């Protein structure tokens, strides 16, 4: 595995993200994230922001992620959430002793509730997951599609810079693809609606996909 430094997608900023892989000396790589034209854009605080654990840095619990972001950025994470197709949202809240300090794996798409007054990037240093190691068990319904929360694994380079329609085609059995922007809420691409927004997608980013398959299957 290659060691890289990355910035997971924390959707607290309105600028578009541009990820660039730059080769360094030897076999090391660095993942640089450019926030549009300026670094000083104000975070959307008091909002839920989406991110993906794109690298393996040893984080295995929601409490560890919360502590890591709070220790290394100028924003404060109050809650961490994951989405389960069967149970809905599962929340870790350090102020609630009855909340679930759930497990986190590489590639997991998550939500964090952010507080703060200025933009900040959470830098993640870790190992690139092995090709094929990040995958999602997709559950659907033919009568009414079911939402699954996924990220696009880093090894799916053909999808990087593509569109929601490309992701839907690559996965199959997809009725809708949603991305979340805290300033605007959910943006939806619907396969059978030519007027819906066929937004851009990138590897390492989280998306909701509404599945129509009648038998669970693993993607990719």
**pLDDT given at position 15:** 25
**pLDDT given at position 34:** 27
Domain boundaries, the chain: 3-127, 136-219
Give residue-wise pLDDT tens across range 68-123: 888 887 778 899 999 999 999 999 999 999 999 999 999 999 999 888 666 667 77
**pLDDT given at position 40:** 26
**pLDDT given at position 80:** 95
CA distance 198 to 165: 6
Task: Compute how many other C-beta atoms are within 10 angstroms of the C-beta atom of residue 109.
Answer: 24
CA distance 179 to 50: 9
CA distance 131 to 215: 25
**pLDDT given at position 27:** 28
Length, in residues, of the chain: 220
Which residues, given as ranges, of the chain have pLDDT below 70?
1-46, 116-120
Closest CA to 200 of 13, 66, 19: 19
How would you classify the pairing of strands 76-84 and 185-190?
A: unpaired
**pLDDT given at position 198:** 97
Closest CA to 142 of 86, 192, 215: 215
Global pTM reads 0.80
């Amino acid at each position: 595995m290659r060691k890289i430094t990355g910035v997971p997608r924390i959707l607290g900023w309105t600028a578009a993200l541009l990820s660039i892989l730059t080769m360094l000396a030897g076999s090391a790589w660095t993942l640089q994230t450019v926030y549009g034209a300026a670094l000083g854009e104000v975070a959307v605080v008091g909002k839920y922001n989406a991110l993906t654990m794109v690298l393996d840095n040893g984080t295995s619990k929601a409490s560890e992620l919360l502590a890591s972001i709070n220790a290394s950025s100028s924003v404060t994470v109050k809650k961490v959430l994951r989405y389960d197709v069967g149970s809905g949202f599962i929340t870790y809240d350090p102020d609630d002793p009855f909340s679930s300090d759930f497990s986190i794996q590489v590639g997991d798409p998550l939500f964090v509730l952010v507080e703060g007054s200025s933009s900040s990037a959470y830098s993640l240093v870790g190992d690139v997951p092995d090709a094929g190691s990040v995958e999602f068990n997709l559950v659907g319904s033919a009568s009414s599609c079911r939402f699954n929360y996924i990220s696009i694994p880093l090894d799916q380079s053909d999808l990087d810079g593509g569109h929601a329609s490309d992701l839907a085609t690559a996965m199959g059995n997809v009725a809708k693809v949603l991305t979340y922007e805290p300033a605007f809420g959910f943006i939806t691409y619907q396969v059978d609606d030519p007027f819906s927004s066929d937004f851009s997608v990138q590897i390492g980013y989280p998306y909701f996909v509404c599945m129509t398959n009648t038998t669970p299957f693993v993607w990719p």
